[in-house]
Structure 1
Amino acid sequence: MKKIYILDTNVLIHDPLSFTKFDDNTVIIPISVIEELDAFKNHGDERGRSARIVSRKLDSYRTNGKLNTGVKTEHGGTLIVELDREQVLPREFKLVEMDNRILNNAFWHVQKKHNTVLITKDINLRIKAEAVGLVAQDYEAGKVNVDELYSGIVSETVSSETVDKFYKDHVITSPAKDLSPNEFVVLRAADDLKKSAIGRVDPSDVTKIRALNPEPAPWGIRPLNKEQRCAMDLLMDDSVKLVTLLGAAGTGKTLITLVCGLQKSVEENVYRKLIICRPIVPVGKDIGFIPGTKEEKLSTWMGAIYDNLEFIMDKRHQESAMEKFEYLLQNEKIEIASVTHIRGRSLPKQYMIVDDAQNLTPHEIKTILSRAGDGTKVVVTGDPYQIDNLYLDIASNGLTYIVDRMRGEKLYGHVSFTKTERSELAALVAEKM
């Protein structure tokens, strides 16, 4: 049975083409949503960009008919831009609020016995809809099944002879099926629990597991556990163009990513520069306008990046750590930017790190990755359990979206971190809280 889907503004901001993804059903965009998009269109952030994309796409549909009576979409559905209806909600719902106007439109269709569903990423609006007997759902397109999320590392029990052969030949035929390119395999001897080895699935032949490259120590930093060891193997491999690292705070994902980026761009000059970006999403109340230059403004949001870079510099240049750091910034071997400043650029032959990617939408992360030019390597890191964006969750953010979609690609590798190495306190907090 066909349905009427009524979309909230936050759905269109999350995915500007969401109204094209409801097959042959009817999609209604209330006029109050258009008004909210109009208020956002001049913003320089991703919200403004999404609003402009929606407006252009809706305008293109006007050539097919009138939006107020319904226009056919590519999938056989109908798209309608609808004016406000007379109030049918209980009087305690004041229609001066945008959410209530959207809710009223949806409830009007329910009163007319239409099979209506309100689509919104606003939890409270879904609760209000439930209170008046209206079916309301989150926007599900692009959501990931977190329980089946790719970890990048598997364990296989094999004979002691197989482990010995792997150490001797540095390659064996995979004991498991359905492994992905660049997936790591921990080989454990069945008759000797202390005997094990780690290999990586050959991206050109997934039936083969090859030994890792010799353990690196970029800028004097060595891996502290097998997950960091595996991650470094991907980060130092120029043939792996996209790497995702997922883990809780203190697991070392940002530190080892930075140190490998410095090694490749500053020491080996494989890449022109190391560029580090992250979304600007405040935790708690926003502190408002920040005076100063772009660099001074960004320093407020990039504290974690600066802390890690100073630690790395201190390891390598104990006498002049800060001077070396400033030198690299001034000579543009290191660039620190917000994701907003990346949009519209082309970035060839650069080592690009996108930190805190759990606060990006799938659409935003796609936009950022499309900036990568020829010879560029992109590393995306984050913790899907530490999301500050109000309309994202563990199943709908850009980080888990990449992990789910890119698995199986030869140019891609992933590692999920589970062990905290920052301190005993940080490990205890990660475990208990």
Structure 2
Amino acid sequence: MAAKKKNSGKIFVLDTNVLLHDHKCLYNFEENDIIIPIVVLEELDKFKKGNDQINFQAREFVREMDRLSGEQLFTAGISLGKGHGRLFIETGKPIPEEMQESFSENTPDHRILAITLHVKEKYKERQTILITKDINLRMKAKSLGLVSEDYESDKVKNIEILHHGVETFDGFDKNIIEALYKEGQVPRSEFPMTDEQLPANQYAILKNESQSVLAWFDPNSQSIRRVEKHSAFGIEPRNAEQTFSLHALMNPDVKLVSLTGKAGTGKTLLALAAALQQHKQYNQILLARPIMPLANRDLGFLPGDINEKIGPYMQPLFDNLGVIKNRFQQSSKELAIIEEMQKREELIITPLAYIRGRSLSDVYFIIDEAQNLTPHEVKTIITRAGEGTKMVFTGDIHQIDSPYLDMQSNGLAYLTDKMKGQDLFAHVNLVKGERSFLAELASDLL
């Protein structure tokens, strides 16, 4: 009976990019069997050295394989444990004629396709599926009659209903609006919205004809509170979403914030201004972003020392700091505070890879361009948070530079989806660009 159940299961062939995306992926295929082509192990060797998250994933997967290794890995396979299938390594196979007609080059991708075709023929009674995050490889596989899918265990299922953090309610009860202006808060029990419409730290714009109020659901007091407009270190919010963002960024009860929105909506600027406004509450402000080299060229190709290499990637963060500095006169105490913090390394702008391994306590940590992180990378960053630390992730899920991430699988969307409703989490999607009318027009039309 057990053998029959095993033989009826699917066979998943995994591409290198799946292992580099999630080194624990072996345990996400239920009772189905998994095959790792030998060429994948060859490719992993190229990624083991380095400080980027992709190098960490490669090393962790190799360690996991070492823990699982045994004589049967190339024959009968090795069990992945209760509730899981077996793991096999398949050695290289000749490229069949049907492939050579279309794909003549002997590349790792084509060798993976050859192994997948071999597995399909060897186990005709079972479905063989190639799992890869490479869209081109999926297309090549389908041209050969192979079933190929993306790795979706950590994808946001419906990106269209991704939590926006802000809801607008028209025709709202004017008595509640008046009570919010008069008392500042209303008990949750008197509010007509459902728990689905009003999760923890949900922001809302309540309207009734000429009246409107900005409100927020405080999960600690179980009340709806009015949100007032406040500035932070010289930065004034210009719209409702920016007002809500500053509120979340400066709320001491909210330890994790995600801000999404297109370029020019003020995500990073607001986060940095809020951090500086609260600098006395934290030992350090860290502002970091992942480095995504252009044209898949490593930093080693760029001229200069390490600071000159990373400078262009960090410049947008320095630009945001420059905007804040320009709000003040040279003799102002605010400018003196910023310069003193930088001198004492209490305000640091750095590549995200340089933070790995640190335990972050009493730190205001801003992670910019978080849409270029995988869900596992986001989890790794958050698990470094110590006591008194606040983490802010900013980015635009429509502008992804990583070749193996999309709107559904990037870490920022995953974080926003999974954390919705948690008392210590708040999210705001900023819609309106505030750089200039030209920038807003280009963002919408081009």
Structure 2 letter corresponding to 1:138: D
- In structure 1, which of residues 184, 200, 210 is the aligned counterpart of residue 216 of structure 2? 200
Kept in 2, the 8 Å contact 1:150–1:404? The answer is: yes
Identity in percent: 41
How far apart, in 2, do the equivalents of 1:67 and 1:58 lie?
13
Displacement of 1:353 in angstroms is 0.2
How far apart, in 1, do the equivalents of 2:341 and 2:312 lie?
20
* Aligned residue number for residue 211 of structure 1: 226
Kept in 2, the 8 Å contact 1:70–1:80? The answer is: yes
Q: 1:102 to 1:319 in 2, by over 3 A?
A: same
Q: Indicate whether 1:99 and 2:109 are aligned.
A: yes
Q: 1:259 to 1:319 in 2, by over 3 A?
A: same
* Aligned residue number for residue 408 of structure 1: 421
Q: 1:426 to 1:369 in 2, by over 3 A?
A: same
Secondary structure of the structure 1 residue equivalent to 2:301: coil
* Aligned residue number for residue 264 of structure 1: 278
Q: Deviating runs (4+, > 6 A) in structure 1?
A: 320-324
- In structure 1, which of residues 397, 418, 429 is the aligned counterpart of residue 442 of structure 2? 429
- In structure 1, which of residues 135, 151, 156 is the aligned counterpart of residue 147 of structure 2? 135
Displacement of 1:68 in angstroms is 3.9
* Aligned residue number for residue 31 of structure 1: 38
Displacement of 1:284 in angstroms is 4.3
Q: What is the TM-score with the length of structure 2 in the denominator?
A: 0.91
Q: Which runs of 5+ in 2 are unaligned?
A: 1-7
- In structure 1, which of residues 219, 236, 245 is the aligned counterpart of residue 259 of structure 2? 245
* Aligned residue number for residue 8 of structure 1: 15
How far apart, in 1, do the equivalents of 2:338 and 2:84 lie?
57
Q: What is the CA deviation profile of residues 231-259 of structure 1, one whole-angstrom value per residue up to 9, with x for unaligned ones?
A: 00011111110000000000011111111
- In structure 1, which of residues 171, 177, 183 is the aligned counterpart of residue 202 of structure 2? 183
Secondary structure of the structure 1 residue equivalent to 2:326: helix
How far apart, in 2, do the equivalents of 1:64 and 1:423 lie?
64
Q: Indicate whether 1:83 and 2:91 are aligned.
A: yes
Structure 1 letter corresponding to 2:146: L
Kept in 1, the 8 Å contact 2:328–2:335? The answer is: no
Displacement of 1:394 in angstroms is 0.6
Secondary structure of the structure 2 residue equivalent to 1:136: strand
Displacement of 1:317 in angstroms is 3.4
Aligned-residue RMSD, C-alpha: 2.0
Q: What is the CA deviation profile of residues 246-289 of structure 1, one whole-angstrom value per residue up to 9, with x for unaligned ones?
A: 00000011111111111111xxx100111011000034464753
Q: What is the TM-score with the length of structure 1 in the denominator?
A: 0.93
* Aligned residue number for residue 165 of structure 1: 179
How far apart, in 1, do the equivalents of 2:173 and 2:384 lie?
46
Range that drifts further, 88-97 or 295-304 = 88-97
Q: 1:102 to 1:119 in 2, by over 3 A?
A: same
Q: Indicate whether 1:347 and 2:357 are aligned.
A: no
Secondary structure of the structure 2 residue equivalent to 1:90: helix
Secondary structure of the structure 2 residue equivalent to 1:413: strand
Q: Pairwise mapping of residues 288-303 of structure 1 onto structure 2 (< 5 A)?
A: 288-292=300-304, 294-303=306-315
Displacement of 1:293 in angstroms is 5.2
How far apart, in 2, do the equivalents of 1:4 and 1:285 lie?
32
Kept in 1, the 8 Å contact 2:27–2:84? The answer is: no
Q: 1:325 to 1:160 in 2, by over 3 A?
A: closer
Kept in 1, the 8 Å contact 2:367–2:391? The answer is: yes
Range that drifts further, 177-186 or 379-388 = 177-186
Q: 1:375 to 1:325 in 2, by over 3 A?
A: closer
* Aligned residue number for residue 118 of structure 1: 130
Displacement of 1:100 in angstroms is 0.6
Q: 1:30 to 1:285 in 2, by over 3 A?
A: closer
How far apart, in 1, do the equivalents of 2:296 and 2:52 lie?
18
Secondary structure of the structure 2 residue equivalent to 1:223: coil
How far apart, in 2, do the equivalents of 1:259 and 1:323 lie?
15
- How many residues are paired up? 425
Displacement of 1:291 in angstroms is 5.0
Kept in 2, the 8 Å contact 1:342–1:371? The answer is: no
